[in-house]
Amino acid sequence: MAKKVTKKEEKKSTAKKTTAKKSTKTVKSAAVKKSKTTTTKTVKPSAKKKTVSKKKKTEEDSVISIGKMTVIRPKKETDPFIIKTGSGTEIKGYTPKDLVEFKELIIGRRDEIVEQLQLIKEQIADPNTGIYINENSPYSLHMAEQGTDAQEREKLFLWAQRESKFLRYLEAALQRIEIGTYGICVECMDEPKKLCKTCPLIPKERLRAVPHTQHCVEVKKQLQK
């Protein structure tokens, strides 16, 4: 004879089925979460690769090649530039902190020269017409006065040429500062002559007096002989 199922037993069996379904859903959702987590983890290695490539690019930017010479930019402001010449000589240059002083000095002198050149230009020619000043002046009809005007203009031309040349030297010095080779004696770069205490570096006192120079005092004296 088959047993009669009571209402209580029916409720229990229904509750068991519901619990089983819930547990199945929980397992499925956990599996989905795991798969998502795994997918996220697989993305991380690519991010690491990007970091490595950025680091490599930064290192490449800190090395400058100029012909056979290589300049390594320091990581700290107080560390010197390292210059490797074509002959294999390794030189410790000035630090970025040192070069800031010389850069400000050179920019100051450059601005002074630009101002002087503008004044010379205004004295030589009229800014509107381009005609030399005093060239058509009624007060310069006398031969002697015309000769004096010509001499004055010639002096101004020579002065402007000298100042323009000096300006080019200062611009070249600023480029050497940006690269990191500023303050190195060009005659002692490959083979230091040991004529001064800081060789192959030009002493700071010399650079402050003549900021565009590429020779120490002793080498300059030898070149002038």
- pLDDT by residue (tens digit) across 87-137? 888 999 999 999 999 999 999 999 999 999 988 888 876 666 655 555 444
Position 215 pLDDT exceeds 70: yes
Determine what percent of the chain is predicted with pLDDT higher than 90.
Answer: 45
- pLDDT by residue (tens digit) across 11-57? 555 555 555 555 555 545 555 455 554 444 454 555 555 554 555 54
Give the model's pLDDT for residue 51: 52
Going edge to edge, which strands form the sheet with 69-72?
63-66, 69-72, 82-84, 90-92
Helix (H) or strand (E) holding 91: strand 90-92
| Residue from 41, 39, 83 nearest 63 by CA | 83
| Residue from 52, 94, 97 nearest 77 by CA | 97
pTM, full prediction: 0.65
Those residues with Cβ within 8 angstroms of residue 52's Cβ, 6 or more apart along the chain or in another chain:
none
d(CA 85, CA 35): 57
Sign of CA dihedral 40, 45, 47, 48: positive
Those residues with Cβ within 8 angstroms of residue 121's Cβ, 6 or more apart along the chain or in another chain:
127, 160
